[in-house]
Amino acid sequence: MDGQFAGQVRLSPHLSFIRCASTMSSKIAMAYMIPFINGLFAQSLRYAQKIILGISTIYLRLFFSQALILNENLHKSTESYINRIIPVLIIITLLPLCGCEGDKPTGDSRAGKTSDVGPAFGGIMVEGSTGDASNLISILSSDSTSHSIAGMIFNGLVKYDKDMKVAGDLAESWDISDDGLEITFYLRKGVRWHDGHPFTADDVLFTYRLTIDPKTPTAYAGDFLRVKSAQVIDPQTFRVTYGEPFAPALMSWSASVLPRHLLEGKDITETPLARHPVGTGPYMFKEWKTGQKIVLTSNQDYFEGRPYINGYIMRIIPDMATMFLELRAKGIDRMGLTPLQYTRQTENKLFRRNFNKYRYLSFSYTYLGYNLENPLFRDRRVRQAISYAIDKKEIVRGVLLGLGQETTGPFKPGTWPYNPGVRRYSYDPGKAKELLTEAGWKDSDGDGVLDSDGRPFVFEIITNQGNEVRAKCAEIIQRRLADIGIEVKIRVIEWAAFINEFINKKRFDATILGWTITLDPDLYDVWHSSKTKPGELNFISFKNKEVDELLEKGRGTFDRTERKRCYDRIQEILAEEQPYTFLYVPDALPIVSSRFRGIKPAPIGIGYNFIRWYVPKGEQRYVMTR
């Protein structure tokens, strides 16, 4: 029978089951005629049958629940079909007990496993995500889920390749003037938007103007405000000129290009493209059910070649434990594992047979950030004290299980802008108490909680739902701060509300969050004092005149040695000021169903060549409907 799973689920018939069922029925009938079968055996058999019936029902209903979740078009007779098939499944389950001859499970749960004869078109990738997207126009969003989906739908002019070198995307090539102030992009010919409209340099110019428009609520205008002039030379040539050197200039044009013919003259904050985007990328938008799933289909006319995988579904599963159960039941093909899942829960035959795990130091860091508009955190001695009170080694050892490393600032250890010589905050509760006393915090009433001018030192840490590592970090921090007289409350919030209602509106005391580390070290959007407005990325309201000057100087030169000096000093200031307690850089721990081939780990990770991933024809389970 064919069901619908954003396409068709193919169930292979096994005629030997019918033969075995017939044989088994005869043997059972004969068994009841044998007088020496005592009551104990009969009672045990009935109990076994009930157990098998229950397990069989659960597994079958779980299988079809995935199809129902992923496509509401599953035939309405599914429920009756389940009820009809349960007796057959019981017979199949009992085959080993009955000694029937015929086909038997091989032990490899990848039914229909075949030899890999090379790339094939078809199949669907189902990935789990704890958070939903907020807006699929990337200049209007700051969350990773939105950018991940938008990155499959849209293209920029340039991108990073597998070796983290700048490569062409919508731009086939480019020229940079000797003084570095002028870049001329030569665009690919024949590229079309997903609705068939031609892509031209007019789209690039339109996107640039839209981004710098004061009416556009974006956190990413800063890079483009450095542009002195932008012009269309011809439909396939775009030129941009800067008034002064700007180091991130070339890679700033990796931002998604938007369709002029659909957005010109429209209010960007009201456009339906935020939820139904039209891009030029390898995948086209199909469906978005808030809080459930986002569905994409492959762009068969993609300029880099049609992707092998026909469909992509991101399922929203806020709880990591539930997501892991879905992975185990093959309801999803890909997710990021927690350290516990990576080191223990996937170290068994089932996972080794059906999945491939990967590990590499991620381009991200996790931190405890303080709302500097809150009077509790205005004194840097308080922030330093909290950093001394937190045992980072305990977090890396106990929460990450060693899959990551401590960090001291906003750069990945081992990269050229990283400064290993900054002030460090080794675990020292005595030093923490000393600093708090200097800052005027004492336990004047003996209740175990510090106070100052009658105000107890109590604050709340918020973090996002679905990230159990961050939640466990919060618990460790809560316990360690209690040791020095600070009471911490923890609040875990659904992702969309967390970003839109708390982070963007600065309605928090402190937060545990993470940033992706960009390959260019420009930190302007996160740390410059001009980026503290609601919805911008400096939501902790950090303001430091010297840091502002260094940020501007660092992005205003092409000399790497000079840039290195700027970013080294910025890291020294951040280490002194502690607007964040920088916690750790985690290892990335993706896991992917072993049905998917073509995955080639590289310095940038594994997702860079997703359009070249494939599933051998004999192992494709689903068909994407268009």
Q: Phi, psi at residue 495, to the nearest 5°?
A: -55, -50
- Please tell me whether residues 40 and 174 are part of one structural domain: no
Q: Which of 272, 293, 320 is the last residue of a domain?
A: 272
Q: Cβ neighbours of residue 266 under 8 Å, at least 6 residues apart? A: none
Supply the pLDDT for residue 556: 94
423 and 545: one domain? yes
Predicted confidence band at 30 (pLDDT cuts at 50, 70, 90)? very low
User: Which is more confidently placed, 73 or 447?
Assistant: 447
Half-sphere exposure of 20 (CA within 13 A, CB side): 21
Identify whether residues 59 and 138 lie together within a single domain.
Answer: no
What is the token pair recorded at 267? 């209010």
35 has pLDDT over 50 = no
Rounded to whole angstroms, the Cα distance separating 131 from 290 reads 10
> Is residue 263 domain-shared with residue 203, that is, in the same domain?
yes
Regarding predicted confidence, which is higher, 454 or 28?
A: 454
Q: Report in angstroms the alpha-carbon separations of 326 from 27, 94, 158, 281, 500.
A: 38, 26, 36, 29, 28
CATH value at residue 218: 3.90.76.10
| Residues 557 and 457 grouped into a single domain | yes
pLDDT of residue 118: 87
Same domain, yes or no: 451 and 580? yes
Residue range 284-291: average pLDDT? 97
Q: Which runs of E-coded beta strand occur in 328-410?
A: 334-336, 355-357, 360-361, 364-370, 404-406
Q: Are residues 492 and 573 in the same domain?
A: yes
Q: In this structure, is residue 373 part of a structural domain?
A: yes
The answer to whether residues 18 and 95 touch, using CB atoms and an 8 Å cutoff, is: no
Are 403 and 589 spatial neighbours (Cβ–Cβ below 8 Å)?
A: yes
Give me the torsion for CA of 564, 568, 573, 579, rounded to 10°. Answer: 90
Does residue 447 fall inside a structural domain? yes
> Which residue intervals of 78-163 are DSSP H helices?
78-98, 144-153
* pLDDT of residue 538 exceeding 70: yes
Q: What proportion of the chain, given as a percentage, has pLDDT over 90?
A: 78
Region of poorest pLDDT, from 15-19, 175-179, 210-214, 421-425:
15-19
Q: Which of 137, 143, 71, 504 is nearest to 295 (CA)?
A: 71
Evaluate whether residue 330 is within a structural domain: no
3-class secondary structure, 479: helix
What digits encode the pLDDT tens for the residues 255-274? 999 999 999 999 999 999 99
Query: So what's the pLDDT on residue 114?
Result: 59
Q: Mean pLDDT score of the chain, rounded to an integer?
A: 85
* Residue appearing with tokens 């840097």: 380
| Cβ partners under 8 Å of residue 302, min gap 6 | 281, 282, 611
| pLDDT confidence bin for 28, thresholds 50/70/90 | very low
Q: For residues 106 and 72, is the Cβ–Cβ distance under 8 A?
A: no
Domain boundary among 98, 116, 141: 98
pLDDT at 162: 95
Q: What is the pLDDT of residue 116?
A: 78
The angle subtended at Cα 43 by Cα 42 and Cα 45, nearest 5°, is 65
In a domain, 382, yes or no: yes
Residue 451 has pLDDT above 50, yes or no: yes
Beta bridge partners of 227: 242
**pLDDT at position 113, please?**
56
> Residues 43-78: pLDDT tens digits?
444 444 444 444 444 444 444 444 433 443 333 333
> What distance in Å separates the CA atoms of residue 406 and residue 586, rounded to the nearest whole number?
9
- Pick the last residue of a domain from 221, 252, 272: 272
- Cα–Cα distances in Å, from 345 out to 80, 102, 325, 595? 35, 34, 11, 20
Contact indicator for 167, 158 with CB cutoff of 8 Å: yes
Q: How many domains does the structure of the chain reveal?
A: 3
Q: What is the dihedral of CA 485, 486, 489, 494, to 10 degrees?
A: -140
In a domain, 235, yes or no: yes
Nearest-10 crossing angle of helices 468-482, 380-389:
110
User: DSSP letters along 472-524, please?
Assistant: HHHHHHHHHHHTTT-EEEEEEE-HHHIIIIIITTT--SEEEEEEE--SS---H
Q: Which two tokens stand for residue 15?
A: 């005629």
Domain at 493, CATH number: 3.10.105.10
Domain extent, residue 487, equals: 364-587
145 and 263 in one domain? yes
pLDDT for the residue 385: 98
The whole-number pLDDT of residue 236 equals 98
- Collect all residues with Cβ–Cβ distance below 8 Å to 91 and sequence separation of at least 6: 17, 20, 21, 24
Tens-digit pLDDT profile for residues 72-102: 333 333 344 444 444 434 333 333 333 333 3
Phi, psi of 315 (to 5 degrees): -95, 135
Report angle CA 323, 329, 335 to the nearest 5 degrees. Answer: 40
Do 149 and 243 share a structural domain? yes
- Tell me which residue of 124, 492, 501 sits closest to 318, measured CA to CA: 492
In a domain, 481, yes or no: yes
Is there a single domain that holds both residue 162 and residue 238? Answer: yes
Beta carbons of 271 and 265 less than 8 angstroms apart:
no
Is there a domain that residue 359 lies in?
no
Pairing between strand 124-129 and 311-316? parallel
Q: Alpha-carbon distance 300 to 308, whole Å?
A: 9
Residue 606 lies in a domain: no
Closest C-alpha among 412, 167, 469 to residue 304 = 167
Query: Are 459 and 371 contained in the same domain?
Result: yes
Distance CA(248)–CA(521), nearest Å, equals: 9
Residues 402 and 514 in one domain: yes
